[in-house]
Structure 1
Amino acid sequence: MTAIFTRRSALAAAAALPLAATARPTLAASGSTEMARAPASHSRSFKLGSFTVTTLLDGSRPLEGAKAIFGGGATDEEFAATSKQNFIPADMAQFFFTPTLVDTGSEKILFDTGLGQGGIQIALAQVGLTPQDIDVVVLTHMHPDHIGGMTTDGAETFAKARYITGRQEFDFWRGQDEGNRVGDLMAQKVTPFAEKLTFLEDGDRVASGISAMASFGHTPGHMGYMLESDGQQLMLTADLANHYVWSFAHPDWEVKFDMDKEAATRSRRRILDMLASTGTPMIGYHMPFPAAGYVETRDSGFRFVPVSYQMMG
């Protein structure tokens, strides 16, 4: 990766993330006017060999100005045409925030903690769990919508868990000054856990059958994770691709939230090509709930194919 991450780029990325910090979970109990946009259930479980993989809807919200977020380098006409071909509006995106729980049979491992506004607790309750049942918390990267749920009302949410994240990611964000929103959130949510954190590099294992895969660019140390059980594979892609249409159909279009846009594009193409060529399913943090699907090649890009009844256990 040739580009250098600087304090300036970090602050720019922080400024580009208002929705992540302010999105409200659209939960059945909330009575929100956004309820019509939310699925009736906030959890969905899949079987992967002897693993049970459960996606947990922490929140969802619409956001206007889609092209400014997902269409860097595209003309208005190109962005509108791709949107129309996929039956979605060109001026609005629906965001989903979906941590993933992996039950290996010996440990319950949670990937990312959500927004910190109560959604993940409701989703866990739907599968009969509480935050106290989580053994391991893995942070794919340090953006607010992934670390926001580490504490609740100032107390540790997952009090019995140990924590894992990428060394490069942690070192970068720890080096940022407080006084910007991401730096402040890092200080509040992650720094107090420093003594409980275990760090890994590309290829290291979280547990048997769960390996880190570098996908740098969205953030300096952004990681995906490959799951493998009984010969079956599934990849947790985190924020490799932030929209199920635009980021797949045109992986070279720049995304506002990607800190190193060239590196993010390279990671997107490399990993989406691997998933398409091997037929490996994926779970993406911002994909439409239940966030799971397959990747196929289409023209010069890709297409996300949502899961239907595959992997049902």
Structure 2
Amino acid sequence: MPPSLQVGPYTVIALADSAGPFFSPRSEAFPEATDEQWAAADRFDPGALDADGRWWLQFRAFAIRSDRGVTLIDAGIGPADSPAASWAPVPGALPASLAAAGIEPSDVDTVVLTHLHTDHVGWAVVGGEQARPYFPNATYLLQRAELDAIDEVNPQLRSAVIDPLRKTDQLRLLDGDAPLRGGERVCATPGHTPGHQSVLVESGRDLVAVTGDLLVHAIQLLHPELAYAHEMDVAQARSSRERVLRSRAAGTLHLATPHLTEPFIAR
């Protein structure tokens, strides 16, 4: 069984897809970070640095299961022929991780795509020329602002992901925050991309934030003010990150992150 976190009636499940090095040195990804900040981040998450000094990323999605259904947040790097193949360690193992959690693709009723980067949409649509949504019964949720900016964010995903989802009438566009059918909430967290979104799960005193790329390295958790070179709007990304990290509710804030070594971090 994959790692999971129980929050009231919700089980948040971390679904591993793969792991591998980032395509550029981490010093280029966070050019303002100091040696002291890197040292603190390495103590916090030593697994994010490999033996050759490269930034080592996890690639994972998350499922939220309750008696109301199954919500999937993001769709990993995908199979060997996915759009992420040019840089990410494909093929991913998301189907096997889903099976280990007892989830069939047909069980998923909602897929939240946090944003249109290739390592987050890889299993959304499969089949190449015979493209089909991998989750046949799911509504796929994307911020309208993300689709409006697709030519700037990732134009190849229009034909690879968006058009097939529209063909089967499975794409639904959101305008900002929105409730989900399972009781979770989508929270607009723009900055990394114009329509980046995260998912919040709240029960009692606990709050889980499934972050997407709101933060991609522990250095942003320790120093949320630091700019990441691949944020499209640095100031907006900083504001979104700080807003979520302040959302402690009455009790514990749990972060569910796709790229840090540990899938769940309590604050």
Give the TM-score of the pair, scaled to structure 2.
Answer: 0.82
Structure number, greater radius of gyration: 1
For residue 161 of structure 2, the aligned residue among 171, 189, 194 is: 189
Report the equivalent of 1:94: 56
1:226 lines up with 2:185 in the alignment: no
The match for 2:26 is 66
| Shift in Å, 1:50 | 1.2
Find the partner of 1:263 among 229, 233, 236: 236
Structure 1, unmatched stretches of 5+, are 1-40, 296-313
In the TM superposition, 1:1-313 aligns within 5 A as 43-63=2-22, 65-69=25-29, 71-75=30-34, 77-83=35-41, 86=44, 88=46, 89=49, 91-117=53-79, 118-154=92-128, 155-173=132-150, 176=151, 182-194=154-166, 195-229=169-203, 232-244=206-218, 246-275=219-248, 278-289=251-262, 291-295=263-267
Question: How far apart, CA to CA, are the structure 1 residues paired with 2:43 and 2:120?
Answer: 31
Instruction: Answer yes or no: is the 8 Å Cα contact 1:49–1:231 preserved in 2.
Output: no
Alpha-carbon offset, residue 220 of structure 1: 0.3
RMSD: 2.4
Q: CA 1:249–1:286 in 2, change beyond 3 Å: closer, same or farther?
A: same
How much has 1:137 moved relative to structure 2?
1.1
Pick closer, same or farther for the CA change 1:198–1:92 going to 2, 3 Å.
Answer: same
Of 191-200 and 89-98, deviating more is: 89-98
Q: Which runs of 4+ in 1 moved over 3 A?
A: 77-91, 229-232, 275-278
Distance in 2, matches of 1:121 and 1:241, equals 25
Q: Are 2:207 and 2:248, in contact at CA under 8 Å, matched by a contact in 1? A: no
Q: Is the 8 A contact 1:201 1:212 kept in 2?
A: no
**% identical equivalent positions:** 28
SS at match of 2:56: strand
- Find the aligned partners of 1:113 and 1:87 in 2 and give their Cα distance: 24
Amino acid at match of 1:253: L
Deviation digits for residues 25-70 of structure 1 (CA, Å, limit 9, x no counterpart): xxxxxxxxxxxxxxxx7x222221112221101111133611111x
Match of 2:245, SS? helix
Structure 2 gap ranges (5+): 80-91
Q: Report the Cα distance in structure 2 between the residues aligned to 1:213 and 1:121, rounded to whole angstroms.
A: 26
> Partner amino acid for 2:59?
F
Q: Give the superposition deviation at 1:223.
A: 0.9
| 1:225-272 residue CA offsets vs partner (Å, 9 max, x unmatched) | 11124564312111111012x112222222122111111112122221
Shift of 1:146: 0.9
Q: Please give the alpha-carbon distance, in whole angstroms, between the structure 2 residues aligned to 1:210 and 1:130.
A: 21
Q: TM-score, normalised by structure 1?
A: 0.71
The AA in structure 2 aligned to 1:169 is E
